[in-house]
Amino acid sequence: MLLHLVYSDPLSSPWLLLLIYGPPHANGRARFWKCLENLVNAFSSPWLVIWDFNCLYSNLDKKGGRYLNEGSTKSFSNFVHGTGPIDLGFIGSRFTWSNKREGLANIKELLDKAVCNQEWQCLFPKARVKHLIASTSNHAPIILDTHLDWFVRAKPFRFEAMWARDESSFGIVEKAWQGNVEGSQCFKLAREIQQTSEDLMVWNRNQFGYAKTKIKETEARIKEVQERAPTKENLELEATLYLELDEWLERVDLKWRQKSRELWIKEGDQNTRFFYLSTLVRRRRILIK
Task: Check residue 205 and give its pLDDT.
Answer: 84
CATH 3.60.10.10 fits 2-145, yes or no: yes
Q: 95 near 63, Cβ under 8 Å?
A: yes
d(CA 231, CA 98): 67
Domain regions of the chain by residue span: 2-145, 161-286
Alpha helices in the chain (DSSP H): 29-42, 70-83, 118-123, 168-176, 185-203, 211-226, 232-260, 272-286
Query: For strand 142-145 and strand 128-131, is the pairing parallel, antiparallel, or unpaired?
Result: antiparallel
Task: Check residue 151 and give its pLDDT.
Answer: 53
Task: Check residue 265 and give its pLDDT.
Answer: 47
Task: Check residue 288 and give its pLDDT.
Answer: 59
Q: 123 near 7, Cβ under 8 Å?
A: no
pTM of the entire structure?
A: 0.50
Q: What is the pLDDT along the chain (289 residues), one digit of tens a residue?
A: 777 788 877 677 789 998 887 666 667 778 888 888 898 888 888 999 987 766 777 777 888 888 777 666 777 788 888 888 888 888 888 888 888 888 888 888 888 888 898 889 888 888 888 888 776 778 888 888 887 765 555 667 888 888 888 888 899 888 888 877 777 888 888 888 888 888 988 888 888 888 888 889 999 999 898 888 888 888 899 999 999 999 989 888 888 877 766 555 455 555 555 555 566 555 555 555 5
